[in-house]
């Protein structure tokens, strides 16, 4: 059975890019362009992984983290944000985020982070890149 991921970002380009990358890692991916859409998705289905931005207008990523953890404390939450303020990172981790990726980050960094968190939680690893496309992983950055 495929693991399920929810990707939340108000930047449509980043959202589509993360969707494609995470799907390529082997996940069944649902996307949400804001926190309200994410809340609907979270209330209707379970996710193994949630990747969220922090700054998204009305509903921010901190609220998404809180909602995810209130529904299922075992869901892995990764924050993918451009916020340079260390207080953002500390608050996200305090609310239950498993890790904080500062944009821009490489696909390789995202892969390592997800693999590490899933491995730690499930005592097994994921085989990434089931569709090996020559995308120059080390040169491909998510802004």
Q: What is the pLDDT, as a whole number, of residue 129?
A: 41
The token pair that represents 65 in the structure block: 């983290």
Annotate 55-73 with three-state secondary structure. Answer: CCCCCCHHHHHHHHHHHCC
Digit-coded pLDDT (tens) for 29-58 = 999 999 999 999 999 999 999 999 999 988
What is the DSSP code string of 66-110? HHHHHH-TTSEEEEEE----HHHHHHHHHHT-SEEEESSEEHHHH
The three-state secondary structure class of 115 is: helix
| Cα–chain center distance at 126 | 15
More confident position, 120 or 143: 120
Residue 98 contacts residue 118 (beta carbons within 8 Å): no
Domain count, the chain: 1
pLDDT bracket for residue 59 (50, 70, 90):
confident
Specify which residues 78 forms β-bridges with.
51, 99
Digit-coded pLDDT (tens) for 69-128 = 999 999 999 999 999 999 999 999 999 999 999 999 999 999 999 999 998 876 543 444
Q: What is the pLDDT, as a whole number, of residue 69?
A: 97
| Domain region containing 133 | 4-142
Residue 36 belongs to domain with CATH number: 3.40.50.2300
Q: What is the pLDDT, as a whole number, of residue 91?
A: 97
Residue 9 DSSP label: -
């Amino acid at each position: 059975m495929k693991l399920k991921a929810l990707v939340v970002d108000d930047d449509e380009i980043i959202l589509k890019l993360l969707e494609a990358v995470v799907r390529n890692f082997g996940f069944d991916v649902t996307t949400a362009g804001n926190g309200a859409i994410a809340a609907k998705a979270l209330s209707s289905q379970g996710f193994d992984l949630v990747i969220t931005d922090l700054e998204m207008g009305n509903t921010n990523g901190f609220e998404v983290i809180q909602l995810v953890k209130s529904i299922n404390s075992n869901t892995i939450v990764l924050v993918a944000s451009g916020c340079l303020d260390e207080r953002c990172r500390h608050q996200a981790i305090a609310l239950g985020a498993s890790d904080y990726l500062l944009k821009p980050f490489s696909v390789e960094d995202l892969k390592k982070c997800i693999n590490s968190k899933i491995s730690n939680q499930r005592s097994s690893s994921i085989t990434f890149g089931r569709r090996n496309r020559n995308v120059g992983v080390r040169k491909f950055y998510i802004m």
